[in-house]
Amino acid sequence: MTTSLEADVLAILRPGGMLTADTIALNLNAPKWRVVRVLHALRDNGDAFQNRRAEWQITAGQRRPARQGVR
């Protein structure tokens, strides 16, 4: 189950690509600690990863639109 903040973080990462947790929190007007928790949850699920410059990206699977009815 995806929370509202998780959906917002994924949405902001789609067009922008590589963003830091600070930038994401600023853009979403959310506390940084909540954004970091969401980013780590997304990483644990395989939906996002962090590069060496502490920038977050969505994984390749998240870049493709979801297909209805396929699991």
Per the rule left: phi > 0, alpha: psi between -120 and 50, beta: everything else, 69 is: left
Residue with the two structure tokens 């502490």:
54
DSSP result, 8-25:
HHHHHHHHH-SEEHHHHH
| Every domain of the chain and the residues it spans | 4-63
Q: State the CATH architecture for 4-63.
A: Orthogonal Bundle (1.10)
Query: How far is residue 40's CA from residue 6's CA, in Å, rounded to a whole number?
Result: 10
**Residue range 48-59, pLDDT digits in tens:** 999 999 999 998
Residue 68 pLDDT greater than 70, yes or no: no
DSSP 65: P
Task: State whether residue 67 is helix, strand or coil.
Answer: coil
pLDDT of res. 71: 43
